[in-house]
Amino acid sequence: MIREFEPLCLEITESVGIWVPKLSELSADIITGRRNIQNRTIKQILGHMVDSASNNTHRIVHLQYRENPLVFPNYATEGNNDRWIAIQNYQEEDWKNLVQLWKYAHLHIVHVIRNVNHEKLKNEWIPGPSAKNISLRAIILDFPVHFRLHLSEMDELIRKY
């Protein structure tokens, strides 16, 4: 375990523990009817967070054994994250299943982060043709920032009315 990452692992784990019951209590009107500035519902935001956890888990794993720098698709560019949301049709996903998928995707990425090889932290991912390379350390440190952003969006939508 890399000590630098333990606070973010605890933050994600604690947030999951707080948010699972909160999400489970929400009505269908709240999770499917209210939209953020990207026109996403709470269901779609939660699905996007599952996609983010999954894609980042794959990046973290690939960055520890594949050629450095890593060429790996960036699902979030050119509107592709919205395509992922649409193709997987999170809006129609069973809410209880989606909440559990979100929970376990985030608990798993915490497990993966806790098991990162410290010798690989400087390995880099190439996110796109004109983008600057990103180190494994930076990917891990940025993940909770993205996580908090979307929790904040959902909280705003919950409190909106």
Asked whether residue 96 carries a pLDDT value surpassing 70, the answer given is: yes
Mean pLDDT, rounded, for 111-118: 98
Asked whether residue 129 carries a pLDDT value surpassing 70, the answer given is: yes
- State residue 63's pLDDT score: 98
- State residue 38's pLDDT score: 93
Distances (CA, A) of 24 to 90, 97, 109, 127: 16, 10, 21, 34
Mean pLDDT, rounded, for 24-43: 97
What share of the chain has pLDDT > 90, as a percent?
91
Least reliable range by pLDDT among 26-35, 126-135, 137-146? 126-135
Domain ranges of the chain: 3-159
Distances (CA, A) of 130 to 74, 122, 126, 127, 133: 12, 20, 9, 8, 9
Residue-wise pLDDT for 43-87, tens only, equals 999 999 999 999 999 999 999 999 999 998 998 887 799 999 999
CATH class for the domain made up of 3-159? mainly alpha
Asked whether residue 1 carries a pLDDT value surpassing 90, the answer given is: no
- State residue 161's pLDDT score: 65
List the strands of the sheet with 70-71, edge to edge: 70-71, 124-126, 134-135
Mean pLDDT, rounded, for 3-14: 98
